[in-house]
RNA sequence: GGGGGUAUAGCUCAGUCGGUAGAGCAUCGGACUUUUAAUCCGCUGGUCCUAGGUUCGAAUCCUAGUGCCCCCA
């Protein structure tokens, strides 16, 4: 919509076609330049809006008269109401809002006249005494006021704010200026990640935060198509990581015992309300633990998170109540498929022909090379996944689709693996790790065969990972938790784009 | 990949049957020392997403394309 303006400005042209509102503000900026420094950086604050609101919440006007302090605040002017020689300003800073009381006769000569030319959106700073107006609004009564940074572009309308989703995502800075809800989502996101770090490192758990490579010579650790890039000096194809798993387990071989990483993964797949090409995962590995320990820890973490972020253990998501206070159900893949497909007999669950028939009925794409395990998961995805609303651990995934997981002691066709589903979405994936190097090598070979047969999501053979396992990896359990989807749940956000500061968008200019 | 929705002033949105492009807020000019979406008076502001087509005439109808949103695969 404003493409012409943007191209004109980036090209450094005279903005002849720039809209009048911007042209007027640019004229004011030119006047400021003539008067001296238009972008001063000398003003210093000694408090914030939020701190003032908190400190003086219970003080009336009389009590405030006894406060013999000068408060310096700075931020964006969000509203400006001028009444002759008096004006009120709503100042927004990093942690809240505070009203400024601007009186001509309390300010140095000429300041009030200049102030009258300033615009909503400008960054200003001022200082003065704290007071409460006749209507009871806590205010800083200014004895000093400066324009710190001129805003050339008008803000969205004050009452409706910015609702256009495209502009909210493309110009997140505008969204953050005008939409309190948006700011709140990203504060909570930060709170969630802080909580997780503290939880993982708390006494008794003592996981060590580590950083492993984002660029891999061999992509591994997940069934996903990678982004490819190129290292010039080495003349080498590199892949943005789809998962940190194989590196983190090398650290377990190295004896670090308990490690975690919170960082981005990249998957070259479709984009939707639940998928962004880059997304954030918590991934952790725990020596001398198994997948049951992981499920217990996950429950405890999510319960604590809900309580910390929302203040209660029941999470309200898109009109549904999700109880994080109760133990989560645990249910095998087989059981879950049977529950949602009552026509199926037990024997059918591992019958390739029956499963293929079900897929055909539902026009689910299958490959001739797929075994019962893969087909069973296709049926699970189609008939079960989106019905798993209350938190539930789905366990015992087929070995065929779990090339890095330890086989179950009683049934080698399934693994000691689980996925946590909440609100019909996969939130976490964890398992007892496969630490038998010979079994792992065999699984890699099967993956390579699948890749050769055309499965672009199949894994590569990672020689060094096998070499690491051959040194001996302790019995270990490991898990990945999708942070973005977790933030969606805890902030009641319908789209992953609402919890990413800068979600992926097509480039603006063609 | 398929389907549906949407695109009009800086923002939020109207726009009838195809007949000169509208409102609120913001801006601009004026009044105002207690406002809270301040109020009052006055004036402005448009590539109706893009390109074609139909028509005497298109924001409106048709075709194609593009961005965004949603659903499905």
Summarised one tens digit per residue, pLDDT across range A385-400 is 999 999 999 999 999 9
Distance CA A416, CA A426 (A): 17
- Distance, CA of A308 to CA of A310 (rounded, Å): 6
**Quick one: pLDDT at residue A20?**
85
Mean pLDDT of A32-43: 92
Instruction: Report the pLDDT value the prediction gives residue A409, as an integer from 0 to 100.
Output: 97
Residues 67-86 of A with CB under 7 A from strand B: 79-86
Tell me how crowded residue A231 is: count the other CB atoms within 10 A of its CB: 11
A43 CB closer than 7 A to any strand B atom: no
User: CA neighbours within 13 Å on the CB side: how many for A326?
Assistant: 11
Residue A18: the pLDDT is 63
In angstroms, the CA of A183 and the C1' of B29 are apart by 37
A1-CA/B8-C1' distance, Å: 11
CA distances (Å), A222 to each of A219, A251, A429, in order?
A: 8, 18, 11
Query: Which nucleotide lies at the shortest CA–C1' distance from A156?
Result: B11
Q: What is the pLDDT of residue A264?
A: 96
Q: Which residue is nearest to nucleotide B38 (CA to C1')?
A: A81
Q: Which nucleotide's C1' atom has the smallest distance to the CA of A104?
A: B33
A43 Cβ neighbours under 8 A, 6+ residues apart:
A72, A74, A125, A146, A148
A9 falls in which pLDDT band (50, 70, 90)? very low
pLDDT digits (tens, 9 = 90+) for A301-329: 999 999 999 999 999 999 999 999 999 99
Q: Spell out a b/e string for A93-105, using b for 16 or more CB atoms within 10 Å of the CB, else e.
A: beebbbbbbbebe
- Strand B within 7 A of A500 CB: no
Mean pLDDT along residues A283-303: 98
Which nucleotide's C1' atom has the smallest distance to the CA of A23?
Answer: B27
Contact A427, A489 (CB under 8 A): yes
Q: Which of A342, A351, A406, A341 is nearest to A373 (CA)?
A: A351
Nearest nucleotide to A87 by CA–C1' distance? Answer: B35
| Residue numbers 169-198 of A with CB closer than 7 A to any atom of strand B | 169
Q: Say if the ipTM goes beyond 0.85.
A: yes
Mean pLDDT of chain A: 93
Residue pair A434/A404 in contact (Cβ under 8 Å)? The answer is yes
CA A23 – C1' B26 distance (Å)?
14
Per the CB < 8 A criterion, the answer to whether A245 and A229 are in contact is: no
Specify the DSSP class assigned to residue A312: S
Contact A149, A177 (CB under 8 A): no
Q: What percent of chain A has pLDDT over 70?
A: 96
C-alpha pair distances (Å), A416 with each of A246, A406, A407, A433, A434: 18, 6, 6, 8, 9
Q: Would you say the C-beta of A21 is within 7 Å of strand B?
A: yes
Q: SS3 sequence, A68-106?
A: CCCEEEEEEEEEEEEECCEEEEEEEECCEEEEEEEEHHH
Q: What is the pLDDT of residues A160-187, one digit of tens each?
A: 889 999 999 999 999 999 999 999 999 9
pLDDT value, residue A508: 77
A174: nearest nucleotide, CA–C1' criterion:
B11
Residues A187-216: tens digit of each pLDDT: 999 999 999 999 999 999 999 999 999 999
| Residue A266, token pair as written in the block | 């990249």
Amino acid A65 CA to nucleotide B33 C1' distance, rounded Å: 19
Q: Which protein residue has its CA closest to C1' of B12?
A: A160
Between CA A152 and C1' B47 the distance (Å) reads 23
Q: Distance between CA A261 and CA A255 in Å, rounded?
A: 16
Segment among A130-144, A342-356, A432-446 with least mean pLDDT = A342-356
- Could you check: is the Cβ of residue A162 within 7 Å of any atom of nucleic acid strand B? yes
User: Who among residues 290-319 of A has its Cβ near strand B, under 7 Å?
Assistant: none
Kindly list the distances between the CA atom of residue A278 and the CA atoms of A175, A269, A270, A311, in Å, as whole numbers in the listed order. 21, 10, 11, 30
- Residue-wise over A375-410: b if at least 16 C-beta within 10 A, else e? bbbbbbebbbbeebeebbbbbbbbbbbbbbbbbbee
What's the whole-number mean pLDDT along residues A449-455? 88
Which residue carries 């589903």 as its tokens? A421
Q: For strand B, is any atom closer than 7 Å to the CB of A505?
A: yes
Q: Is residue A387's beta carbon less than 7 angstroms from any atom in nucleic acid strand B?
A: no
How buried is residue A88: exposed, middle or buried, by Cβ count under 10 Å (0-12/13-18/19+)?
middle
Tokens read off for A242: 């789809």
Cα distances from A173 to residues A318, A487, A493, in angstroms, run 26, 20, 19
> Cβ of residue A100 near strand B, that is under 7 Å?
no
Chain B bases having any atom below 7 Å from a protein CB: 1, 7-13, 24-28, 31-38, 44-45, 47, 66-73
Residues pairing with A92 in the sheet: A76, A97
């Amino acid at each position: 919509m404003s493409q012409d303006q943007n191209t004109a400005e980036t090209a450094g042209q005279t903005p002849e076609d720039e809209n009048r509102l911007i042209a007027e503000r640019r004229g004011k900026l030119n006047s400021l330049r003539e008067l001296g420094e238009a972008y001063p950086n000398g003003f210093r604050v000694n408090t914030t809006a939020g701190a003032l609101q908190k400190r003086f919440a219970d003080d009336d006007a009389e009590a405030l008269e006894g406060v013999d302090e000068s408060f310096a605040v700075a931020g964006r002017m969000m509203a400006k109401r001028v009444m002759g020689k008096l004006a009120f300003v709503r100042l927004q800073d990093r942690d809240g809002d505070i009203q400024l009381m601007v009186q001509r006769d309390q300010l140095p000569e000429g300041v009030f006249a200049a102030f009258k030319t300033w615009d909503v959106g400008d960054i200003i700073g001022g200082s003065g005494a704290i007071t409460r107006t006749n209507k009871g609004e806590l205010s800083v009564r200014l004895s000093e006021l400066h324009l710190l940074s001129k805003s050339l572009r008008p803000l969205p309308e004050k009452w409706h704010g910015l609702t256009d989703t495209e502009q909210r995502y493309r110009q997140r800075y505008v969204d953050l200026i005008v939409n309190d809800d948006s700011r709140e989502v990203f504060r909570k996101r930060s709170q969630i990640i802080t909580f997780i770090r503290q939880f993982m490192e708390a006494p008794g758990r003592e996981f060590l935060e580590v950083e492993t490579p984002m660029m891999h010579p061999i992509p591994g650790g997940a069934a996903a198509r990678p982004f490819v890039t190129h290292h010039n000096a080495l003349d080498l194809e590199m892949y943005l990581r789809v998962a940190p798993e194989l590196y983190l387990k090398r650290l377990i071989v190295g004896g670090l015992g308990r490690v975690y990483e919170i960082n981005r993964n990249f998957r070259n797949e479709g984009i939707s309300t639940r998928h962004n090409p880059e997304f954030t995962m918590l991934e952790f590995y725990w020596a001398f633990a198994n997948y049951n320990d992981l499920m217990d820890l996950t429950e405890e973490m999510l319960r604590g998170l809900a309580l910390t972020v929302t203040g209660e253990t029941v999470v309200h998501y898109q009109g549904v109540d999700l109880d994080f206070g109760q133990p989560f159900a645990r249910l095998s893949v087989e059981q879950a498929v049977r529950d949602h497909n009552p026509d199926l007999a037990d024997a059918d669950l591992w019958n390739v022909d029956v499963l293929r028939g079900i897929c055909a009925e539902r026009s689910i794409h299958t490959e001739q090379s797929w075994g019962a395990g893969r087909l069973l998961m296709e049926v699970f995805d189609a008939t079960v996944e989106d019905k798993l609303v209350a938190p539930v651990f789905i366990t015992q995934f087929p070995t065929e689709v779990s090339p890095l997981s330890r086989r179950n002691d009683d049934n080698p066709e399934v693994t000691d693996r689980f996925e946590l589903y909440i609100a019909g979405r996969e939130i976490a994936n964890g398992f007892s790790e496969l630490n038998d190097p010979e079994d792992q090598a065999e699984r890699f070979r099967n993956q390579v065969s699948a890749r050769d047969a055309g499965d672009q999501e199949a894994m590569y053979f990672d020689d060094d990972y096998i070499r690491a396992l051959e040194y001996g990896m302790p019995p270990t359990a490991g898990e990945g938790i999708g942070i973005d989807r977790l933030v969606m749940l805890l902030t009641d956000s319908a789209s992953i784009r609402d919890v990413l500061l800068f979600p992926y968008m097509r480039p603006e200019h063609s």
